[in-house]
Structure 1
Amino acid sequence: MKQSQRLQQIDRMVTRHYNHIFDCCCDHGFLGQALLQRNIADTVHFVDVVEPIMAELQDQLERLYGTGYPRNSWQVQCQDVAALSLPKDGSTLVIIAGVGGDLLIDLVTALVSAHPDRSLEFILCPVYHNYKVRQALRELSLSLIDEQLVHENRQSYEVLHLASSATDIEAEPISPVGKRMWDLSKTEHQQYLDRTIAHYERMSQRRESAVGSTSAEDIVAQYKALRLPRPLKPEKC
């Protein structure tokens, strides 16, 4: 069961035990199975809206994990992620990867709105529109636990681990352009930054609207600022 670079990175970012992990838009369930084998959650939920794929996944999981695992260690749920009913108690991690930025915003907004009093964590990996996604997540008052930049098949993907409310894990505001994930000593990171700047520069030249009230010129300036040397933190006495 060979995982993509993206799924391997998401797997590595799950570092503590949860009562429930929801692997949403899971397709063939490779990530959820890796998490199940790690015994990193009381229950791993495989969620997707495509009925034939989920029926096949149900059969596969029963063959592989029908014995030797607790009865409630996994569940297959064929439904729309936006309508997902999350447990009222216990620690919950929702993973959504491999979907477009606009859809990801809609899904996370629906889940946060439906569970306003729940302390939730998310690991998200959108396809495209990362600046727009980050701005939307900021507006939902989500906080950043961790973020990583993954490169696969000449594409780059941003992976964000977020919390919906204060937790015992150190979190910080989400940067619209990313903060922790960048290592500009690496060629792939430099190339991804160059491509991103070039994209918004083209939008600026065509005078296209960018993200909400933020102009393409402002977005370009924010990404270019990543290249500037960061000031050293003052030493503690």
Structure 2
Amino acid sequence: MKLSQRLSHLQAMVDGPYQHIWDCCCDHGLLGAALLRQEAATNVHFVDIIPGIMQSLQGKLERFFPPTTGASRWQVHCMDVAKLPLADYPSETPHLVIIAGVGGELTGELVSAIQQRADALGQEIEFLLCPVHHTYQLRERLDILRLRYFDERLISENKRCYELLHVARRGERPITAIGDNLWSQAPFELQQAYLRRLLKHYHQVIRGSKQEQKPLLERAISDYQAQLDLLSA
């Protein structure tokens, strides 16, 4: 099956080869399967918590990617993404963990839990992230975790905008509140539409927010408005 534009962009951002890639919240496993074909990793792990989906995926992988030398290049894990069994797969090179298609707040919680497990093992780890919303909150969480970015992109698919981030402790640049490189790469019309959509969203959210949430929301509105003003100058 052909990859969506969003998954194709994520595939293009995988600068392997890695020893282990974890396709988390993988749903039907399309991205992980594409990375298997690409031979982007020695082992590709498919992770989701829904048993029915994982059983179906297991059958498809056995059909299209059968073991050729007695050892499979893929594993299926039906489990909580926050509890990845990194200890079972030690590696001298970084693992790549891909988390796409879930909200920014949940993405931040998962990254925090996985990074904590990796730190306890002394295992280097990288993350390739594509949240569906709340990227401002996610970026703040990533900065607190002392992660830095290798690459970030802004794309559009089916009239929705997505931020894609490749981050790690050993990343090359600091993570900023609203992004840096993604504004210089995306088309002007896409940037403008995305910023206006974000501002509309945060203005709506802040009206019904709790007092302790307002400072972050006010910062988000201020930062996104400043970027829109810069574009319009």
TM-score, normalized by the shorter chain, greater than 0.5 = yes
- Matching of residues 99-178 of structure 1 within 5 Å: 99-116=102-119, 117-163=122-168, 165-166=169-170, 171-178=172-179
TM-score, length of structure 1 as denominator length: 0.87
Q: Does 1:94 align with 2:103?
A: no
Number of residue-to-residue matches in the alignment? 225
**CA positional deviation for 1:224:** 2.4
Output the CA distance in 2 between the equivalents of 1:150 and 1:134: 17
- Residue in 2 aligned with 1:34? 34
2: CA distance, partners of 1:23 / 1:138:
23
CA deviation map 1:187-207 (0-9, x unaligned): 122100111122223345x27
Distance in structure 2 (CA, Å) of the matches to 1:81 and 1:210: 32
Q: 1:155 to 1:72 in 2, by over 3 A?
A: same
Q: CA deviation at 1:82?
A: 0.7
**Any residues of structure 2 matched to 1:197-212 within 5 Å, and which?**
197-204=199-206, 206=207, 208-209=209-210
Percent of residue pairs bearing the same amino acid type: 42
Q: For the residues of structure 2 that align with 1:26 and 1:202, how far apart are their CA atoms?
A: 31
SS at 2:139's partner residue?
Answer: helix
Query: Which range is displaced more, 3-12 or 184-193?
Result: 184-193
Distance in 2, matches of 1:49 and 1:10, equals 22
Query: Are the aligned partners of 1:210 and 1:216 in contact in 2 as well (CA < 8 Å)?
Result: no
User: What is the deviation of 1:78?
Assistant: 1.1
CA distance in 1 between counterparts of 2:103 and 2:211 reads 17
Q: Alpha-carbon deviations, 1:142-176, whole Å to 9, x = none?
A: 1111111121111111111001x22xxx5111111
* 1:54 aligns to 2:26 (yes or no): no
Q: Is the 8 A contact 1:23 1:44 kept in 2?
A: yes
Q: CA deviation at 1:218?
A: 2.5
1:62-81 Cα shifts (integer Å, max 9, x gaps)? 11111557723111111111
Segment of structure 1 superposing worse, 146-155 or 62-71? 62-71
Distance 1:75 1:211, change over 3 A: farther
Q: Which of 186, 189, 194 is equivalent to 1:187?
A: 189
Distance 1:210 1:195 in 2: 23
Q: Could you tell me which residue of structure 2 aligns to residue 233 of structure 1?
A: none
Q: Which sections of structure 2, spanning at least 5 residues, go unmatched?
A: none
Shift of the 19–197 alpha-carbon distance from structure 1 to 2, 3 Å rule, reads same
1:43 equivalent in structure 2: 43
Partner of 2:221: 220
**Aligned-residue RMSD, C-alpha:** 2.2
Offset of residue 185 of structure 1:
4.5
State the secondary structure of the residue aligned to 1:16: coil
Q: 1:212 to 1:69 in 2, by over 3 A?
A: farther
Alpha-carbon distance, 1:228 to partner: 5.5
> Residue 183 of structure 2 aligns to a residue in which SS?
coil
Amino acid at match of 1:193: L
CA distance in 2, matches of 1:17, 1:147: 20
Q: State how far apart, in whole Å, the 2-side matches of 1:216 and 1:35 are.
A: 37
**Higher helix fraction: Structure 1 or Structure 2?**
2
